[in-house]
Chains A and B, each alone.
Chain A
Amino acid sequence: DIQMTQSPSSLSASVGDRVTITCQASQDISNYLNWYQQKPGKAPKVLIYDSSSLETGVPSRFSGSGSGTDFTFTISSLQPEDIASYYCQQSHNLPLTFGGGTKVEIK
């Protein structure tokens, strides 16, 4: 199985801050990396697929980059509505695997 390691597990930032989350795969997954946002009590929602492609309707302050084993998810200017947990997920190999999540809070 491909292990997905996310860091940090939680962070606190101010509105307007740039927020960065990293995700490391245990082996090369090319660009097959997706990012999901999960607000409290809600289902996950895809924000980024294929490492850097923005899902339709998702604000442009969200972005992703990386390939191989190292990936980055960025919120360019944190907004109050971005309070959520964020998960990476690889789709290179079965079984599909998710990272442990990053909880983002407002300072």
Chain B
Amino acid sequence: QITLKESGPTLVKPTQTLTLTCTFSGFSLSTGEVGVGWIRQPPGKALEWLALIYWDDDKDYSPSLQSRLTITRDTSKNQVVLTMTNMDPVDTATYYCARHSMVRGTEYFQHWGQGTLVTVSS
């Protein structure tokens, strides 16, 4: 059974750095054609992709947020960490991590964590 769970602060102050951890089980990030991504959703709004890290440690970022994001992995702990610098109230959202699967040439977020709500406020 594949599970993912996000953890991190629920409240951060403006200008602070957010660090979120995704702890997963049921698969290995060392296996080919697998990745873990981060997606966020402001309250009442649509989903927004943030970053992806792949089985070969390749990384991709949303261009609009790339200067603020860093994604890393710890394969021994089955964890993926996302840091976002210079947080602003507009970054208030539920942050999800998800397993990114590559199947027969296509790619999609096949398994999702429950999400964690992060509020940015002084």
A95 and B104 contact, Cβ closer than 8 Å, known pairs A43-B113, A44-B109, A45-B112: no
Does B46 contact A46, Cβ atoms closer than 8 Å? Answer: no
Interface stretch of the complex, out of A12-20, A65-73, A76-84, A96-104: A96-104
Check B27 for interface membership: any CB of A closer than 8 A.
no
Q: Is the interface of A mostly helix, strand, loop or mixed?
A: loop
Check B62 for interface membership: any CB of A closer than 8 A.
yes
Number of interface residues of A (CB under 8 A): 25
Number of interface residues of B (CB under 8 A): 24
Q: Nearest chain B CB to A62's CB is how many angstroms away?
A: 15
Does B96 contact A43, Cβ atoms closer than 8 Å? Answer: yes
Q: Which of A55, A96, A101 lies at the interface centre, i.e. has the most chain B CB atoms within 10 A of its CB? A: A96
Does A98 contact B108, Cβ atoms closer than 8 Å? Answer: no
Does B60 contact A91, Cβ atoms closer than 8 Å? Answer: no
Does A49 contact B108, Cβ atoms closer than 8 Å? Answer: yes
Residue in A1, A44, A94, A97 whose beta carbon sits within 8 Å of that of B60 in the complex: A94
Q: Write out the residue numbers on chain B whose beta carbons fall within 8 Å of the beta carbon of A87.
A: 46-47
Binding site for A on B (CB under 8 A): 37, 39, 46-49, 52, 60, 62-64, 96, 103-110, 112-115
Task: List 9 additional A-B contacts (Cβ < 8 Å) besides A44-B96, A87-B46.
Answer: A32-B106, A43-B114, A44-B39, A44-B47, A44-B112, A50-B104, A91-B108, A95-B64, A98-B48
A-B contact pairs, 18 of them (CB 8 A): A36-B109, A43-B96, A44-B96, A44-B109, A46-B109, A49-B106, A50-B103, A50-B104, A50-B105, A50-B106, A87-B46, A87-B47, A95-B49, A95-B64, A96-B52, A97-B49, A100-B46, A101-B46
